[in-house]
Structures are given as structure tokens and as C-alpha cells.
Amino acid sequence: MNAADTPATAAAAEPQRLLIVLPSTGEFDSRTWRIASSAARRGHDVTVLARSGAGLPDDERHPDGYRIRRISAHAVDGLPWPLSRIARAFRRRMGATPSSGLPPGDRRDAPAAEERVWLPRRVTRDVLRRWAILLTIRAYAKRAAPMAPPADLIHGMAYLGIPVAIELARRQRPRPRVVYDARDIYVDAANLARMRGLARWAIARAERGWARRADRVITVNDPYAEVMAERFGVERPLVVWNCAYRFVADPQERRFHARLELPAETPIVLYQGGFSRDRGIEQLIDALASMPGVALVLMGYGYLDAELRARAAEPGLAGRLHVLPAVPPSELLKWVASADVVAMPIQPTTLNHRLTTPNKLFEAMAAGVPLVASDLPGMAGIVRATGCGLLVDPTDSAAIAAACRQILEATPEERGEWRTRARQAADATYNWEQQAEILLGEYGRLTGRPW
């Protein structure tokens, strides 16, 4: 990782207190890591409130200079007192484990995100799935209140983090400024996009209210900003791209070959990120049949983990499909740089996906690895303008395989040109160093003191 701050900007900062509220454990949240590390490096007091997770400490001092405090909060704790007491007693009597507390549609950032339910399946589907979001928010805010330190600015991540941030700000005097980091178009993403009727309307209405109560809304790309400005009825959100730090790769390091004991000549096609539906993972696996001699590596986390590992053991895929756990954000680019192609055939199933510019797009560019991406409005313009990879119909496995082969079978000079274009685009434009200046500048505008 390279420092994001010049001595001049760091010296100009006036130390302040930043509180970031997460909907996840924070273990693999690259955006939070980048924001927290940038602020901490300038001398600010940074605390991240996150969700508790198996094997993770409740109170952690991150090597990059900020604190993480994790909170256990489940949907049942958000029920009114008599009902929550009855529900907990029922759960104990049934000898079952409570759910992870993560709301449907926001499972991306937690490795153990597949919920283990303690209610009958029909009740879970018809009630808990629809209302657990608001109950979890209520429980999270209640548990977070006594643990949250005083802050000058509270940065609420996602639709679960922002209501908690607003509630924490309401309890403090003087009131901290609040930023809503809307990283997705949530009501058009994942499980929320499939909801209908009153529950979806209630979530959309609640998010609009939270956005209006925040002092500033930020998001990750221009298409998202346009949609949110119209839907929320707020000033056009500030765009802070999900870029990676500038990075210099070691060309001799071949981490996947060493970890998987692969022959040196084996090409690596990498998918990294969340293991969930509609990310193009299934299409990539199907494409593997048309990429002889290629190893497909899936590195990440999520509720499809067991299913993907089972597929990797199938006779036709064993030794060619490999599933690896996610790595911390500070180590990620070293792994990405060890791949030959990064593939992200995200499916056009929701408005959120069609307009997305995922972390992995910028991480591949920073690592200097050619990419194969979906020809969708969010990503296509960047890929075309930078020449960092190829665009495909993400629903067509044959097209995905052909694009990967085109890069892998290119001459060394052609592959070098792809890598150079990717790195140059990241160094010049798509890097976190520049995005940190935009974000911290906005923090300074909100608090009236330089960050």
C-alpha cells in the first residue's frame, strides 16, 4: 500500500474524530479500510463500528491506526421488549442458533452471511425476510449507542449503517455531521430488488428519509448519483470512486501458482469478491470448458462458498476450478497482480448491476491485470476509454471464454500493452489517493475544519 497523503496535506489537517458505521464485520470491506486508513494517517481519531462475527475480536486496533468495535445485534433484539423476551425464550427452548442478523440483500461484506434461521421456514420467508431489515436496524442502534465514542463526523455505510449513524448523531451534543455512503441502489439490488408490495415500499421510503436527514450523500459513480438525486430528492450525491491505492506489482510473484502448486505455465483467470448469485460466477465456470489448460480461481466469501467448493470437486472441474478464501484489503492487490486475467461478468439482472462499477474493476487496473467485464452502462465506458480489457455479453459463456482466450493467447508485447494501459489509467485517474482528497475535502466543508 502506498501513502495517500503528501506531507503538505497531512500537515494542514486539524485532528478530528471520525466514526464509521458498517453493516458488516468490516473484515473485507475495502472502502472502509481505505477511508479509515487515509483519515488515521492524517492524525484523526478513527473508530469503526461493525457487526460481530465468529472468531473476530469485539475490540480491535487495526495496523493502519484505527479502532474497530464490533457489536452483536440480531433482528429479534429489535422487537418491543415483551415480544423480544418471548422470542428469545422460544429460541432457547428450541435450542437453535439465531440468525446472523444481516438483512436480506446486504450479505456481500460478511464471509458467513448465509443466515441460520430459528423460525419455521414459512414464517421466515413471509415475515422475517421482509421485516428483519428494520428490526435489525433498531437493534443495532440500541446496542451501538453506549459503545459509540463522541465524533465530529459520522460516516454511515449503506442502508443499514445510515439509520444507525443518524440515531447516534441525534444522541450527541454538539451534533456531529452525518454522511450517507450509498454504495449501491439498494432497493434495486439483490433480494430487495425481488421484494414487492408494502415491505419494499417501506424500505425505499425509509432510505429516502435517511438520505434527507444526512448532511451529505455520497456514492460510487455518476450513474448512481443521477438515480439517487432523483429518488431521494437531495442535492446530487458526491461521487467518490471505489478505486484502489496506487500499486507497484512484483512481476516475479506468482502467488496462485505457489498456493495451488500449479505448473508455472498455467494461465490464471481470477474472479474475486462476493460469492453470490448474478455475479457471473456460474457463467465463468461454464466458460472453463472452452478454455483448455486454464485454471479458474474464485477468491472470496459468501453464501455460495460450500456450493462452489462442491463444484470444484466434480470430476470435470477438479484441478481446474479452485476456491480460495478472501484476503484482507491490504493484501488483495498482491494476489490480483498474480493473475493473468481478472473476470467480472456481472449479470444484467437489476438496475444496480447494470450501473455498477465494482471494486474489482479498479483493483484489476491498479494491479495492471487485463480484465474481461460485462458490456453494461456502468463499466463499459471506463473499459473502453482506458483500453484496460475486453467487454462481453455477460450472459454468454462462450463469449466470456473467447475474450479470456484472446488476452491469454496474445503475444507478450500485446499483453504488456494491456497491462501498461491498466496501470497508467489507475495511476493517472482511477486511484484512491485522488478520491481521498475529494472525500476528506468534503469532510472539511461539513465540519468547517480541514481534514
Phi, psi of 3 (to 5 degrees): -65, 140
* 385: CB partners within 8 A, 6+ apart: none
Do residue 405 and residue 442 come from a single domain?
Answer: no
Cα dihedral 340→110→159→281 (10° resolution): 40
Whether the Cβ atoms of residue 66 and residue 48 lie closer than 8 Å to each other: yes
Do residue 233 and residue 291 come from a single domain?
Answer: no
How many other CB atoms are there within 10 angstroms of residue 122's CB atom? 8
Residue 329 maps to which CATH number?
3.40.50.2000
Whether the Cβ atoms of residue 76 and residue 56 lie closer than 8 Å to each other: no
Q: Which amino acid is at 343?
A: A
Ordered DSSP codes for 67-109: EEEEE---GGGGS-HHHHHHHHHHHHHHT-PPP--PPTT--TT
Identify whether 259 is part of a domain. yes
Identify whether 249 is part of a domain. no
Do residue 143 and residue 206 come from a single domain?
Answer: yes
State the burial class of residue 57 (Cβ atoms within 10 Å of its Cβ: 0-12, 13-18, 19+). exposed
Identify whether 171 is part of a domain. yes
Q: What is the pLDDT of residue 120?
A: 47
Q: What is the pLDDT of residue 86?
A: 59
Do residue 230 and residue 292 come from a single domain?
Answer: no
Q: What is the pLDDT of residue 432?
A: 98
Do residue 276 and residue 181 come from a single domain?
Answer: no
Do residue 151 and residue 269 come from a single domain?
Answer: no
Q: What is the pLDDT of residue 199?
A: 74
The parent domain of residue 292 ranges over 255-428
Identify whether 250 is part of a domain. no
Identify whether 130 is part of a domain. yes
C-alpha 299/C-alpha 322 separation (Å) is 8
Do residue 235 and residue 367 come from a single domain?
Answer: no
Could you list the pLDDT tens digit for every one of the 451 residues in the chain?
Answer: 454 555 446 668 899 999 999 999 999 999 999 999 999 999 999 999 999 999 999 999 999 999 999 998 776 665 555 655 555 555 555 554 444 434 333 333 433 333 333 444 444 454 555 566 677 777 888 889 888 999 999 999 998 899 999 999 999 999 999 999 999 999 888 777 777 777 788 889 999 999 999 999 999 999 999 999 999 999 999 999 999 999 998 888 999 999 999 999 999 999 999 999 999 999 999 999 999 999 999 999 999 999 999 999 999 999 999 999 999 999 999 999 999 999 999 999 999 999 999 999 999 999 999 999 999 999 999 999 999 999 999 999 999 999 999 999 999 999 999 999 999 999 999 999 999 999 999 999 999 999 9
Which among 60, 88, 56 is positioned nearest to 72, based on CA atoms? Answer: 56
Do residue 416 and residue 440 come from a single domain?
Answer: no
Identify whether 213 is part of a domain. yes
Identify whether 248 is part of a domain. no
Whether the Cβ atoms of residue 178 and residue 215 lie closer than 8 Å to each other: yes
First to last CA, the chain: 21
Do residue 50 and residue 154 come from a single domain?
Answer: yes
Identify whether 1 is part of a domain. no
What is each CA distance from 282 to 137, 143, 277, in whole angstroms? 33, 39, 8
Do residue 291 and residue 203 come from a single domain?
Answer: no
Cell numbers found for residue 32 = 472502509
Do residue 203 and residue 89 come from a single domain?
Answer: yes
Answering whether pTM is above 0.85, one says yes
How many other CB atoms are there within 10 angstroms of residue 327's CB atom? 17
Helix (H) or strand (E) holding 279, with range, is none
* 151: CB partners within 8 A, 6+ apart: 17, 18, 19, 47, 168, 169, 172, 176
Q: What is the pLDDT of residue 114?
A: 35
Domain count, the chain: 2
Do residue 112 and residue 19 come from a single domain?
Answer: yes
Q: What is the pLDDT of residue 88?
A: 57
C-alpha 387/C-alpha 376 separation (Å) is 16
